[in-house]
C-alpha cells in the first residue's frame, strides 16, 4: 500500500503517518526527517537543504526527488510506504507517478489532513521534535511522558529552527502556492481522501483507519 499524506505544515501529517506506519507495518518516509538527519550530521546535503529550510522555503525539486527516490528504492519499501512531506510540488508528484508507472504501481491513497491556518501557528509554536527517531509532540495537546524527553527513544526533544512564527507564516504561504494544487492533482486521479485534522489526534487516526480499511 502506498500512502501520501497531504496537508499544511503542522496539520498533523507526521503524527498520523507514524500511527499508520505502526499499525499497517509500513515504513514512514519523511523528507523533512531525512533533511534534518543530514543537518544534524553536517553532510553536504544537509548544509544545502538548511539554507532553504531556515527561510521556510522548499528545497529544490531536483535534490528532494533524488533523496526520495533513493529512499523508496530500499528493500523495506518493497511492499509500500507512507510518504510524509513528499510530494510538495506538482513536478515532484509527476516524477513519483512516472517512477511508479515504470514499476506498474500507483499511489493508493492521498490523505489530506485539513486544518485551517488559524490553528497552525499555535500548533507549531508548541511542537517539540525528536531529531533521532522523528517522533513529534506538542507541549499542550500531545505531551511526552517526561518533559523534554522522547517517549520512543529517550533522546532530548528540541524546538525546530523553522517553527518560529515568521518562518511558519512563510511556510504556510509556500504551502498555499506550491503544495495545495496537489489536492486537485490527486482528486483527479481518484485517490484523494480528506480528514478533519482539527479533531483530537486519536480521532483523526480512527477516520484514517476507516479509509484505509
Q: Give the bridge partners for 35, in sequence order.
A: none
Q: How many CB atoms lie within 10 A of CB 1?
A: 15
Decide: 26 and 81 in contact? Cβ < 8 Å. yes
Q: Does 24 bind ligand AMP (CB under 6 A)?
A: no
Question: Minimal distance in Å, beta carbon 14 to ligand ADP?
Answer: 3
Q: Is 128 a catalytic site residue?
A: no
Q: Give every strand in the sheet of 2-6, ordered side by side.
A: 28-30, 81-84, 2-6, 109-114, 192-196
Binding mask 151-180 for ligand AMP (x = CB under 6 A): -----------x--------x---------
Which entry of ligand AMP, ligand ADP, none binds 52, CB below 5 to 8 A by partner kind?
Answer: ligand AMP
Q: What are the strands, taking DSSP E only, across 115-201? A: 127-130, 136-138, 157-158, 192-196
Among 194, 201, 207, 212, binds ligand ADP (CB under 6 A): 201
Interface characters, 27-46, with ligand AMP (x: CB under 6 A): ----xx--x-----------
Cα torsion 53, 54, 57, 63: sign: negative
Asked if residue 31 binds ligand ADP (CB under 6 A), the reply is no
**Whether residue 127 lies in the annotated active site:** yes
Regarding 179 and contact with ligand ADP (CB under 6 A), the answer is: no
Report the phi/psi class of residue 161: left, alpha or beta, with left for phi > 0 and alpha for psi in -120 to 50.
alpha
Q: Which is nearer to ligand AMP, 16 or 64 (CB)?
A: 64
Amino acid at each position: 500500500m502506498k500512502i501520501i499524506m497531504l496537508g499544511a505544515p503542522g496539520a498533523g501529517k507526521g503524527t498520523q503517518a507514524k500511527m499508520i506506519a505502526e499499525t499497517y507495518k509500513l515504513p514512514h518516509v519523511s523528507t523533512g526527517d531525512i533533511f534534518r538527519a543530514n543537518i544534524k550530521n553536517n553532510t553536504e546535503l544537509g548544509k544545502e537543504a538548511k539554507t532553504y529550510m531556515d527561510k521556510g522555503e522548499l528545497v529544490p525539486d531536483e535534490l528532494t526527488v533524488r533523496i526520495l527516490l533513493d529512499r523508496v528504492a530500499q528493500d523495506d519499501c518493497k511492499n509500500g510506504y507512507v510518504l510524509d512531506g513528499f510530494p510538495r510540488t506538482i513536478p515532484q508528484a509527476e516524477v513519483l507517478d512516472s517512477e511508479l508507472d515504470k514499476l506498474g504501481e500507483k499511489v493508493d491513497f492521498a490523505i489530506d489532513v485539513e486544518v485551517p491556518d488559524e490553528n497552525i501557528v499555535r500548533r507549531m509554536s508548541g511542537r517539540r521534535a525528536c531529531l533521532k527517531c522523528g517522533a513529534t509532540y506538542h507541549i499542550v495537546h500531545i505531551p511526552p511522558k517526561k518533559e523534554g524527553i522522547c517517549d520512543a527513544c529517550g533522546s532530548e526533544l528540541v524546538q525546530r529552527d523553522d517553527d518560529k512564527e515568521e518562518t511558519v507564516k512563510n511556510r504556510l504561504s509556500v504551502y498555499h502556492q506550491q503544495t495545495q494544487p496537489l489536492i486537485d492533482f490527486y482528486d483527479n486521479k481518484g485517490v484523494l481522501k480528506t480528514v478533519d485534522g482539527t479533531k483530537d489526534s486519536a480521532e483523526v487516526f480512527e477516520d484514517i483507519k476507516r479509509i484505509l480499511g
